[in-house]
Amino acid sequence: MTVTASTLEERAEARARAGSAERVTAGGALPGPRGLIPDRIGPPGEPDRFALVRPLGGGSMGVVYEAHDRETDRRVALKTLARGEPRYLANLKREFRLVQSVHHPNLVRLHGLFQGAGTWFFTMELVLGRGYLQWVEGDASAAPGEPASGSTTVPSLPPAAAAPAGPAVAGALDRLQRTLPQLGGALVALHAEHLVHRDVKPSNVLVTSEGRLVLIDFGLTRTAADEPHGWTLAGTPAYMAPEQAGGGPVTPAADCYAAGVMLYQALTGRLPFMGAFQDLIEQKRTWSPIPPGRLVPGVPAELELLCMRLLSPDPAARPTAAEIAAWSRGSSAPASPRVCAPPDAVFVGRERELAQICAAFDEAPGVEPAVVLVGGEPGIGKTELLCEAARRFAGERALVLRGRCFEREVTSYAGVDMIVDALARQLRGLDERAAYFAPRQVAALCQIFPALSEIPAFVEAEVRSPAGGSPELRLRAAFHELFARVATRYRLLISIDDAQWLTEGSLLLLGALLAGDDPVPLVLLLAARGPDHAPLAARLGPLGRRVTQLPLGPLSPAESLVLLRRLTGRSHAELEPMAHEGAGSPSLLRELALAIGERAGPGPPPADGAERPGRAARPARASRPRSGLRRDRAEGPARGRRRGRNLPVY
């Protein structure tokens, strides 16, 4: 049977109708992909906090319910696992952690990630709205008060002959032109954080009765720096950019292509390309779609031009999300922000602090571990310093594992959970060689950190793992042995951001690495916010290691000017007032630079050769060493700072 894009949409629509028809069953349980599940769910301290009302939708990886949060007395959407495999748990956690800090009125708001009894889930804003195409077409059959959430369905498409014409076009165009800039704004917010949604389509774009557009479902979202070969082919074929379907690098331009497909649908009532998967992708690579104006009379020429440019097979030729956001009626050449480099791609100053971290890293290969605590007020540049430290320690003998704590994450091992997930991703690539790293009590680790169960060699070792004894002691012993084994092959840097939210469980496990007679030689690099800096330092005291504290202050006026210059390409004279206004805060200076770009249209190339959005060169991406974790410490290069060498960073 030939499977076409429209066939896939029809199947998804049927699943959506079946799912929305389900209701609460008798006996205190709800229907779910794994059978009946309890109608109340919550973290260990509040097991009944969330009352599940009804399923809203779902796909192969997750299922979404409408729920009532008893603590806040509000309705929320709750997403949990459709299957219990560790890879799906990793996807659920990644979805929340990637997007939870991205705030924009046109992005669905994520609330909290919870570790419950035998399951994980996160909660988010419950959006009351219609699917994008239904709203644009003015379809009154979809009640705007009906909850919608992160489902993976695609609404059925009207045939081309049913496309509105005459007076009906005016209303549809007005609704389209009110929401198109909102969709661009949502994508700008994601792309500014170097995130690619990868599944922009009508069912993932909702519009409320007030006209607020909301982009939902970040299950396929990844960072633009992720290596393409590390991604599985995922998305909805009809909306995939040709490079996304072909396994090439997936950049923010892929999201813009999907927005172009949606725009084409909204204008014409049909998809620009249709057919079986391979035929569909070949059409996208080699053909141009029929211009919308030839199918539907009255399409504004400037809107048609924007649509056709978005559907270009060349990612570099497509308008950016900023151009979509800036589009307005009658604008045939939208202005592009004049920011010259991605904000996070520019790092200035902090040489003294970096030198101290380098010194700790160079001393760690001996016997004693080192603990470095970076402190400072929000926005002062702690995260950027940790990222720059990871880049500068590039060396094929070094392994940097990066984690972060989240204020709205209710889990037992905050921060450490991400570190173990990162290590598991590295070990999975070693095949049978990963058996060397499996601790004797590996079963205790796999029970708490399911990502390790994705390593075949660990699963085999789990069967032979001895039982008995205190579960807490077995967990700490296994955690220590795992990292001790890794440290025999790699120089270890563990970096945890927002460490003020480390849990007691996380501190106990970190203590297992640092304390005692057999500490693991590594560098533990932590960053904590100003008021929480001192309490965290006190909590680290019992670990038995001297803590090097690095308080961060504002950038100097000269450094502020350099940062603004690299971000905007403007002259020092223009930027001096802004540098003063930024008060040395890297975060505020970046916001001011973005504001300049939003106010300015395209201008001459920057004098220092900086490139424009979508063309700016990112820092060299850290890659995995071909030798994996096999090489012995004795085979490594001489000690010293590893700058400019390949480094696996996770």
φ/ψ of residue 130, rounded to 5: -105, 160
Contact between residue 280 and residue 229 where contact means Cβ atoms under 8 Å apart: no
pLDDT score of 14? 40
> What domains can you pick out in the chain, each with its CATH number?
5-326 (1.10.510.10), 351-551+626-635 (3.40.50.300), 557-618 (no CATH)
pLDDT score of 394? 62
CA-to-CA distance for 483 and 490, rounded, in angstroms?
10
Amino acid at 239: Y
Closest CA to 649 of 417, 412, 389: 389
Give residue for tokens 């796909």: 59
Amino acid at 606: P
**Quick one: CA torsion of 393, 395, 397, 398, rounded to 10 degrees?**
30
Contact between residue 264 and residue 299 where contact means Cβ atoms under 8 Å apart: no
Exposure string over 251-286, b if 16+ CB within 10 A, otherwise e = bbbbbbbbbbbbbbbbbbbbbbbebebeebbbbbee
pLDDT score of 233? 65
For the sheet with 147-148, list strands across it: 147-148, 127-131, 205-208, 213-215
Cα separation values, 166 from 148, 173, 297, 330, Å: 31, 11, 8, 19
Report the alpha-carbon angle 145-74-197, nearest 5.
Answer: 70
pLDDT score of 33? 47
Contact between residue 448 and residue 410 where contact means Cβ atoms under 8 Å apart: no
What is the C-alpha R_g of the chain? Answer: 26
Work out the end-to-end distance of the chain between its first and last CA atoms, rounded to an integer number of angstroms.
41
Contact between residue 342 and residue 590 where contact means Cβ atoms under 8 Å apart: no
CA-to-CA distance for 269 and 355, rounded, in angstroms?
60
Which of the residues in the chain have pLDDT under 50?
A: 1-29, 31, 33-36, 142-168, 227-231, 330, 332-341, 600-650
pLDDT score of 182? 94
pTM of the model: 0.70
Cα separation values, 240 from 166, 243, 261, Å: 31, 8, 9
pLDDT score of 10? 42
Residue 580, token pair as written in the block: 């003063």
Beta bridge partners of residue 206, listed in sequence order: 131, 214
By three-state DSSP, how is residue 288 classified? coil
Cα separation values, 511 from 369, 489, 518, 543, Å: 11, 21, 11, 5
Closest CA to 329 of 306, 310, 357: 306
pLDDT score of 208? 92
H-helix segments, 58-197? 86-99, 132-137, 167-192
Contact between residue 342 and residue 194 where contact means Cβ atoms under 8 Å apart: yes
3-state helix, strand, coil split of the chain in percent (to 5) is 45, 15, 40
CA-to-CA distance for 101 and 193, rounded, in angstroms?
10
